[in-house]
Amino acid sequence: MDDHPPIQEGLRELLARAPGFAVVGVAGCGAEALAWLKDSPPDVVLLDWFLPDTTGPQLIPQILAQTPRTKILVYTGQPDEAVTLAALRAGAHGFLSKAEPLETLHRAIRAVAEGEVWADRHTVARYLRELRARVPDPVGNLSADLPALTPREQEAARLAAQGDSNKEMAEKLGVCEGTVKIHLHHLFQKLHVTNRTQLIRLVLQQRERDPHHTP
């Protein structure tokens, strides 16, 4: 979604040429986007931060409420940490500057489509620290109605929630990175999430629903 027609058409053409990509629609404003998303929800929405009738923080929750399986990659000319953090807080799955080369855009779209978070690692780490400050014990706070996790999955959940990379998790668990990916795959399947930030958001939602929890 972009409110500049030349940019819309340019991106449509460039992405359509890339193997594995299909552009299912374009929109120049938030209202237009929400209208076509009802009929043709895509795997990934490429979203500009500023649109004529709305902004990212307002539109992202609306998109996710309407099409919760759609991933959102914010693609903007405002590449600073404050905007990136605002995008992640709003529920975006990734953030990329328009100054990045086309190859990076392709990689970011594919990564977000597969459930990864795409943003500067230091900013993601800061965002995870913010979430962890609200959830001192990520796994221990999961309510009893969620599927039981194995001890290995619990440990993987703790490490993932504290922002460890797959390599760091492998070193701490004493396994290879491939095994870490398997643990995370099973963990995310059980909890119906696709990445670390969604895992912590799930915990926050559970705590907010817990009548015994006090902020």
- Give me the residue spans of the domains in the chain: 5-119, 139-209
30-49, pLDDT tens digit by residue?
898 899 888 888 899 999 88
CA Rg value for the chain: 18
Under the phi-then-psi rule, with left for phi > 0, alpha for psi from -120 to 50, and beta for the rest, what region is 174? Answer: left
d(C-alpha 63, C-alpha 186), whole Å: 27
> Tokens 């597969």 belong to which residue?
114
pLDDT band at 8 (very low <50, low <70, confident <90, very high): low
* pLDDT given at position 203: 63
The dihedral sign for the CA sequence 37, 61, 49, 80? negative
CATH among 3.40.605.10, 3.30.300.30, 1.10.10.10, 1.20.1600.10 for 139-209 = 1.10.10.10
> Tokens 């993601």 belong to which residue?
124
Class of domain 5-119: alpha beta
| The model's pTM | 0.68
Average pLDDT rounded to a whole number, residues 1-28: 69
In percent, the amount of the chain with pLDDT more than 90 equals 20
CB neighbour list of residue 71: distance below 8 Å, 6 or more residues apart: 43, 44, 45, 93, 94, 112, 113, 115
* pLDDT given at position 96: 92
Residue 11 CB neighbour total at 10 angstroms? 19
* pLDDT given at position 9: 63
